Amino acid sequence: MRPGPRRSFTHAEILDAAFDLLETKGFAAVSVRGVAGSLGITPTALYTYYSSKNALLRGMIEHLLARLDLREPGGSDAVEAPDAAAIRRRIVALALRLRELLTAHAGALGLIMSGPLDGPNAMRLNETLLESFTAAGLGLDEAARAAYALQVYALGSIALESADQDADPEAAAPVDGLFPDASGTALWTDLATFPLSSRTAHVAAQHNSTDQFVWGLERLLDGLVPSA
């Protein structure tokens, strides 16, 4: 009996299967072989869609960033007038949506960090930031630097937040004031020698919060798009 025709897959189906692997088994499990296995096809068959793991990852990045809403809060695609306060609000809202997108999907940040952000949807994000910064009066070269700085801030903040959430609190806690050094030798740490850190511990406890994210973003924008 001759086998039936091999089923074809859409790119969306393949990428959805890749995201299922990412969220259930972690970034290391995402490979051509792993995705092919979850779809019930051979790696060779999947290579007809994505020629390498790198191509698959870049497709996933684009699939993820396609979900990022780049429009103004009111639904507009562009800043109506070069008003600094409105432009700042638009940038903050966009950064918050990016943060929400990346924190909502396990492994999404590692995916974003896995390759260059140079696909069409990544470029749409960059283009939107360039439009905002040039509308605020920055020259194009300055706007490019500002767009990059903002993305570095956003991704860095999300990375630190993710690392903190993934940390094992028992492993991180000192035992009777002892912290191991790199060799595993216990070292005495006198917390009293860090009085300023001790007095601001209540602030540090809120570092991985929306308020902190927005506060840092606003301070960055103070130097790029002054509101007054």
pLDDT tens track for 179-221 = 555 555 555 556 677 788 888 888 877 777 899 999 999 999 9
Query: For residue 113, how far is the Cα from the chain centroid?
Result: 8
Domain CATH number, residue 142: 1.10.357.10
Element (H, E) at 90: helix 84-103
pLDDT band at residue 4 under the 50/70/90 scheme: very low
Cβ atoms 23, 106 nearer than 8 A? yes
In this structure, are 105 and 197 located in the same domain? yes
**Residue 206's pLDDT is what?**
77
Same domain, 44 and 104: no
Domain count, the chain: 2
47 and 135 share a domain? no
Flag whether 5 is in a domain. no
- Does residue 4 form part of some domain? no
Same domain, 30 and 111: no
Domain membership of residue 98 (yes or no) is: yes
Domain assignment present for 197: yes
| pLDDT tens string 77-128 | 554 556 899 999 999 999 999 999 998 887 888 888 888 888 999 999 999 9
Kindly indicate the confidence band of residue 3, based on its pLDDT and cuts at 50, 70 and 90.
very low
SS3 199: helix
The verdict on residue 147 lying in a domain is yes
Domain span at residue 213?
84-222
Tell me the HSE value of 225 on the side-chain side, using a 13 A CA sphere: 29
Q: What is the pLDDT of residue 167?
A: 52
161 plus 90 within the same structural domain: yes
User: 45 Cβ partners below 8 Å, 6+ apart?
Assistant: 6, 36
Highest mean pLDDT among 19-28, 46-55, 64-73, 174-183: 46-55
CATH number of the domain where residue 21 is located: 1.10.10.60
Asked whether residue 227 is domain-assigned, the answer is: no
Backbone angles phi, psi at 74, to 5 degrees: -85, 0
Are residue 95 and residue 203 in the same domain, yes or no? Answer: yes
Across 217-228, average pLDDT: 90
Determine, yes or no, domain membership for 74: no
Global model pTM greater than 0.85: no
Asked whether residue 30 is domain-assigned, the answer is: yes
Is residue 35 within 8 Å of residue 17, measured between CB atoms? Answer: yes
Tell me, yes or no, whether 122 and 202 share the same domain.
Answer: yes
- What is the Cα–Cα distance from 147 to 153, expressed in whole angstroms? 10
Q: What is the pLDDT of residues 35-65, one digit of tens each?
A: 999 999 999 999 999 999 999 999 999 999 9
